Structure 1
Amino acid sequence: PEVELKELPPHLEYAFLGDNKKWPVIIAKDLSSNEKTALINVLKTRKKAISWKLTDIKGIDPEFCAHKILLKEDYSPKVQSQRWVNPKIHDVIKKEVEKLLDAGLIYPISESPWVSPIHCVPKKGGMTVIKNDENELVPTRLVTGWRVCIDYRKLNEATR
């Protein structure tokens, strides 16, 4: 798969399980040459066990087995109101939901006694230095994208 390689912390490095920088994996830099070779050989023989894309992840058929959340006796379902988001964030959320639907990791339901709000938080990138209004240099964290999260705090409070 064609992937964009991100900058890694100094203690990590990329290794590739295929030719021409295909099938990247992240490994520790401080491994010996023999350890790196052994690790890469094991990963190459188990390449099918690694999910390279969301669609590679196989779920369990809900007809066969389904997860059940056990609730405390004194809790009733909470329907939390959804928050307004600006159009840019709305598009980010929509794309993420469509990606998860296409991969079969989530599916639509018509009604639920529980509704939890969605939040979009910035993914942290590297640091840069910019000048503020007083012409001072200020370190600033770059936003490299958005992470879609669901606020399950009310549901977590109700679980046993």
Structure 2
Amino acid sequence: MLLMKFPTRNGIGVIQGDQLSARTCYATALKSVASKPPMEVMTLQGLPNGSEPIDDPREENPTPMVQPAEELETVILNEEFPDRWVKIGTNLDPDLRRQFIDFLRQQAEVFAWSYDDMPGISPDVISHKLSISTVHKPVRQKRRSYDAERYEAMRAEVDKLKSIGFIREATYPVWLANSVMVRKARGGWRMSGLYRSE
């Protein structure tokens, strides 16, 4: 059955197709193409007046990465923990730069450098909820399979989040979506989609 639903001002609109009509239409289109003489193929050798070629939309152009407005330098805030660093602009006034770095080093404990630095955050402070309309029927996606590398990245992320109480296991959820794995620009994986609703 061919069916498409879409929202309208007056509720949910429905378009229903008919497979027999669709096949008949397709067969008619094929017959009309077969009865026409073959099309002549033309090749363009050049563009008039030195104009630029039109970009082919099928070519994959990667989205350009946003670049900082100025050169940045890395400042380590604690020599005992070299992985705790920030980047600041190089065009700062030297006196302001020194004051800024001193301030950041004094306040370094306010930054969360890992999940372990923020265990047990109360849901009153922050929590994630999905606003799902009760009008719509809940959907449970089919389980998606991933390669071993993605499974390992997912397992590590879930273990980290479970160990500090950010997430918990849901048994028999009514609404379920697969996790989405996105490769980071600097290597590794980012996981999103740990959602559920009961």
TM-score tier by shorter-chain length is 0.5 to 0.7
Instruction: Return the offset for 1:102.
Output: 1.5
Q: How does 1:9-158 map to 2 (within 5 A)?
A: 11-19=71-79, 22=82, 23-62=84-123, 68-125=129-186, 144-150=187-193
Aligned pairs, number: 128
Find the residue that maps to 1:148 and give its secondary structure.
strand
Instruction: Return the offset for 1:73.
Output: 4.2
Instruction: Return the offset for 1:97.
Output: 1.0
Describe the shift of the 1:30–1:21 C-alpha distance in structure 2 as closer, same or farther (beyond 3 A): farther
Q: TM-score, normalized by length of structure 2? A: 0.53
Q: What RMSD, in angstroms, separates the aligned Cα atoms of the two structures? A: 3.1
Instruction: Return the offset for 1:68.
Output: 4.8
> How far, CA to CA, are the matches of 2:132 and 2:73 in structure 1?
43
Describe the shift of the 1:31–1:66 C-alpha distance in structure 2 as closer, same or farther (beyond 3 A): closer
Contact 1:55 1:104 in 2 (8 A): no
Contact 1:78 1:113 in 2 (8 A): yes
Find the residue that maps to 1:15 and give its secondary structure.
strand
Describe the shift of the 1:73–1:20 C-alpha distance in structure 2 as closer, same or farther (beyond 3 A): closer
Q: Unpaired runs of 5+ in structure 1?
A: 1-7, 126-143, 156-160
Q: Which shifted more, 50-59 or 19-28?
A: 19-28
> How far, CA to CA, are the matches of 2:103 and 2:93 in structure 1?
15
Find the residue that maps to 1:61 and give its secondary structure.
coil
Contact 1:82 1:118 in 2 (8 A): no
Q: Unpaired runs of 5+ in structure 2?
A: 1-66
Q: Percent of aligned pairs with the same residue?
A: 25
Contact 2:139 2:176 in 1 (8 A): yes
Find the residue that maps to 1:124 and give its secondary structure.
coil
> How far, CA to CA, are the matches of 2:123 and 2:145 in structure 1?
32
Instruction: Return the offset for 1:69.
Output: 3.9
Q: TM-score, normalized by length of structure 1? A: 0.64
Describe the shift of the 1:16–1:73 C-alpha distance in structure 2 as closer, same or farther (beyond 3 A): same
